[in-house]
Amino acid sequence: MNTLIPATLVLSLSLAPMKTVEVPELPENVVKLFKAEQDVSRHQILLFTASWCPACVQLKNNEFPALKAKNWEIGADKSSHIRVIDVDQHQGLSDKYNIQSLPTLVLVIDGKEVKRSGSLNAYSIAEMFYNRK
């Protein structure tokens, strides 16, 4: 059975306004923290992901732009706010952090895991980073 979607519904969905994501400002002490590379690695979110993971792609496409707009560094660098780790390329790190599902966000402070979560929106990622929740 074919289900037809009325054209007016399709048009109204395509014209719906995008929701703006607000990300908290970086506190001054955190801004200073990220200016020195050796300090950045002490407070970081590790994002375990894979290119074949639809939820990972969705997280990157939907939430990262809001964080990048607030000058968050996101990438494979050890000096990034969010360090993106491909599980297929870094099996050792995946094993070390016992990654069971993707995406997985792991907050690491001073080399110790403090918190972990699955996919989050940009605001919740910022809350996790500042260890507020």
Higher pLDDT, 133 or 5: 133
Instruction: Give the structural domain span for 118.
Output: 24-129
Please give the pLDDT value at position 128: 87
**pLDDT at residue 5 greater than cutoff 90:** no
- Strand pairing report for 43-49 and 74-75: unpaired
Nearest by Cα to 63 from 5, 130, 118 = 118
Domain count for the chain: 1
Cα 118 to Cα 6, 26, 34, 80, 125, distances in angstroms: 35, 23, 24, 19, 10
pTM: 0.69
- Where helices occur in 19-113 by DSSP H, the ranges are 28-33, 37-40, 54-69, 91-96
Which CATH number is 67's domain given?
A: 3.40.30.10
Q: Does residue 74 lie within any of the structural domains?
A: yes
In a domain, residue 6? The reply is no
Q: For 37-95, write each residue's pLDDT tens digit.
A: 334 447 799 999 999 999 999 999 999 999 998 889 999 988 889 999 999 999 999 99
Average pLDDT of the chain is 78
